[in-house]
Amino acid sequence: MTPDLACPTADTPLSHPTDPLAEQLASWDGEMVILKHDRETGVTIVIAVHSTRLGPADGGTRMRTYPNTTVAIADALGLARAMTYKHALSGMACGGGKAVIAIPAPLTGETRTALLRRYGEVLHRLGGMFQTGPDVGMSSADMDVIAETGTPYVGGRSPAAGGAGDTGEITAVGVAAGIEVVCERLFGDVGVRGRRVLVQGVGSVGAALARRLKTAGATVLLSDVSEPALTAVQRSVDADDVPPSDVYATECDVFAPCAVGGVLTAETIPQLRCRAIVGGANCQLGTAEDAERLYRRGILYAPDFAVNVGGALGGTGMDYLGWSAAEAHARVVAHVRDILQRIFDGAERGRTSPETVARRMVEDRLRSGGRHPASP
């Protein structure tokens, strides 16, 4: 195919507003998006830099298939914003960003390795504007490969390579702490013993969470779209499973979404039979109004970006600040407990949803330019 080399002139009309990409960018509040077509694999790489207000944009790299590029970009934009919120609440000097590697089909072996090295080169060229770690579809072994070319902008590498390793476990530590806070508020009990918790998604966060809850005496229910993944986790965690089609209507004390985002919507919220929602998935709400829907239904929703911060906070601490695993655990638990109590207290005082309060706290910190508004 001969490329069209004609340059647009100043009077070449832009097709906006009927141009979906322009509209998508215009309706987003972030700083910039980098798009790359990887010719060798047909993969599209999207790097969304939502905010560098509090520090370099930082967020995981997600690898998965999408129905089309528009959906892949939309995912990166929403996830990058969530990282800004997450970091702002955690007090870290990091901005928010996210990368999506949209693959047409699963990639393995040398093809995957070579793609990851090329991706690392892109990170290197960006010179620290965006730094990353693992997210859905990526492992610490992948991070080791990306780091070959992307150093020093790659976290979450394997312990053998001097990194923090899988961030699923430390993320689950924070989510479990959030579930405890919710149980204390709703039931007055300390701990989750005897509580029924439904975990949606048994990836690295969901599986680790299920194990922790079980050890703490909860009744755990599991659901996943992948039968083999479910069976593998059930080998070590004694838990009944729920078919994906029944997950919203199943009665439980706490529903813990730990798969992909957008699960709390006008369609699913009326079906819910849980008292609270606390999970590890990013971007659980379909739209901001869904927080109001949950509030009106009397379901206590812990904003995802407040409770799923363990990978970001603990991972960064272990990767860059020399924290031991024990120290990272302790700090994540203390942080999630504190921030969630403040969010729920503010929601009670203001008779509003926890999401509204959490977003206000984020805005305050962004406005104050990195200083905690309360600090001198």
Catalytic residues: 98
Q: Which is nearer to ligand PHE, 199 or 283 (CB)?
A: 283
Question: What SS3 state is found at 169?
Answer: helix
The interface region with ligand PHE, picked from 117-125, 184-192, 254-262, 310-318 by CB under 6 A, is: 310-318
Q: Taking the CB of residue 190, how many other CB atoms lie within 10 A of it?
A: 9
The interface region with ligand PHE, picked from 56-64, 188-196, 208-216, 327-335 by CB under 6 A, is: 56-64
- Does position 167 interact with ligand PHE (CB under 6 A)? The reply is yes
Question: Residue 188: left if φ>0, alpha if ψ -120 to 50, beta else—which one?
Answer: left
- Does position 135 interact with ligand PHE (CB under 6 A)? The reply is yes
- Does position 142 interact with ligand PHE (CB under 6 A)? The reply is no
Judged by CB under 6 A, which of 33, 48, 54, 58 binds ligand PHE?
A: 58
- Does position 257 interact with ligand PHE (CB under 6 A)? The reply is no
The interface region with ligand PHE, picked from 24-32, 57-65, 101-109, 248-256 by CB under 6 A, is: 57-65
Residue type, 374: A
Least distance to ligand PHE, CB of residue 376, Å: 29
- Does position 307 interact with ligand PHE (CB under 6 A)? The reply is no
Judged by CB under 6 A, which of 208, 302, 312, 336 binds ligand PHE?
A: 312
The interface region with ligand PHE, picked from 126-134, 209-217, 265-273, 318-326 by CB under 6 A, is: 126-134
Nearest to 143 by CA among 169, 122, 164: 164
- In the chain the first and final C-alpha atoms are separated, in Å, by 62
Distance in angstroms (rounded) separating the CA atoms of residues 85 and 130: 16
Q: Which is nearer to ligand PHE, 167 or 353 (CB)?
A: 167
Q: Taking the CB of residue 40, how many other CB atoms lie within 10 A of it?
A: 9
Cα 351–chain centre separation? 27
- Does position 95 interact with ligand PHE (CB under 6 A)? The reply is no
Judged by CB under 6 A, which of 30, 78, 96, 133 binds ligand PHE?
A: 133
At 132, phi and psi to the nearest 5?
-135, 175
Residues 6+ away with beta carbon under 8 Å from 50? 29, 30, 31, 57, 77, 80, 81, 83, 84, 95, 96, 97, 98
Least distance to ligand PHE, CB of residue 50, Å: 13
Q: Which is nearer to ligand PHE, 44 or 204 (CB)?
A: 204
The DSSP secondary structure of 262-283, one letter per residue, reads --BSTTTGGG-B-SEE--S-SS
- Does position 63 interact with ligand PHE (CB under 6 A)? The reply is no
- Does position 96 interact with ligand PHE (CB under 6 A)? The reply is no
Q: Which is nearer to ligand PHE, 269 or 309 (CB)?
A: 309
- Does position 169 interact with ligand PHE (CB under 6 A)? The reply is no
Q: Which is nearer to ligand PHE, 81 or 275 (CB)?
A: 81
Distance in angstroms (rounded) separating the CA atoms of residues 243 and 225: 8
Q: Which is nearer to ligand PHE, 58 or 75 (CB)?
A: 58
At 199, phi and psi to the nearest 5?
-100, 115
Asked whether the beta carbons of 308 and 289 are under 8 A apart, the reply is no
Cα 134–chain centre separation? 10
Residues found near ligand PHE in the complex (CB under 6 A): 58-60, 132-135, 155-156, 167, 282, 311-312, 315
